[in-house]
Amino acid sequence: MTVRPSALDPAIASRLRRNDAGLFPAIAQQHDTGEVLMLGWMDDEALHRTLTTGRATYWSRSRGEYWVKGDTSGHQQWVRSVALDCDGDAVLVRVDQVGPACHTGTRNCFVADPLPARVGNPGVTADAGPAR
């Protein structure tokens, strides 16, 4: 596993579960509406920068460098809160998104290609009909 040097608090770092590249997914969510904006990747240092600067910082897998969301596009993500999930393998970054979150120019990254999915009903099971 690749772990780059970081100033991240060791107590937080010890809770993280990283992939073989030393990364974990970071889900960006609009703080006031709950809208899921995008998924990026972080390592320990990207999380440290996010926690200490108030700006969402990610690790670009394609460029092999850190990027602060909005530094080139102007579409910043201002951090409102950050939470580690129960397994330590993902973080939720609640942000105030300025402009589109997606590099394609859409508000979020999940509007371009919706998949056909059967909509479930929590009161009905596939075999038994309505729950009793």
Tell whether residue 43 is among the known ligand binding residues.
no
**Average pLDDT taken over every residue of the chain:** 92
pLDDT, tens only, 49-61? 999 999 999 999 9
Task: Tell me if 14 is assigned to some domain.
Answer: yes
Task: Tell me if 15 is assigned to some domain.
Answer: yes
Task: Tell me if 102 is assigned to some domain.
Answer: no
CATH of the domain at 47: 3.10.20.810
pLDDT, tens only, 99-123? 999 989 999 999 878 899 988 888 7
Element (H, E) at 77: strand 77-84
Task: Tell me if 131 is assigned to some domain.
Answer: no
Task: Tell me if 90 is assigned to some domain.
Answer: yes
Tell whether residue 86 is among the known ligand binding residues.
yes
Domains: count for the chain:
1
| Exposed e or buried b per residue across 64-78, where buried means at least 16 C-beta atoms within 10 angstroms of its C-beta | eebebbbeeeebbbe
Phi, psi (5° rounding) for residue 53?
A: -110, -20
Which domain range does residue 18 map to?
A: 8-95
3-state helix, strand, coil in the chain (%, to 5): 10, 30, 60
Task: Tell me if 72 is assigned to some domain.
Answer: yes
Task: Tell me if 55 is assigned to some domain.
Answer: yes
Task: Tell me if 125 is assigned to some domain.
Answer: no
Tell whether residue 44 is among the known ligand binding residues.
no
Residue with tokens 């509007």: 111
pTM of the predicted structure, to 2 decimals = 0.86
Tell whether residue 113 is among the known ligand binding residues.
no
Tell whether residue 32 is among the known ligand binding residues.
no
Per-residue pLDDT at 126? 60
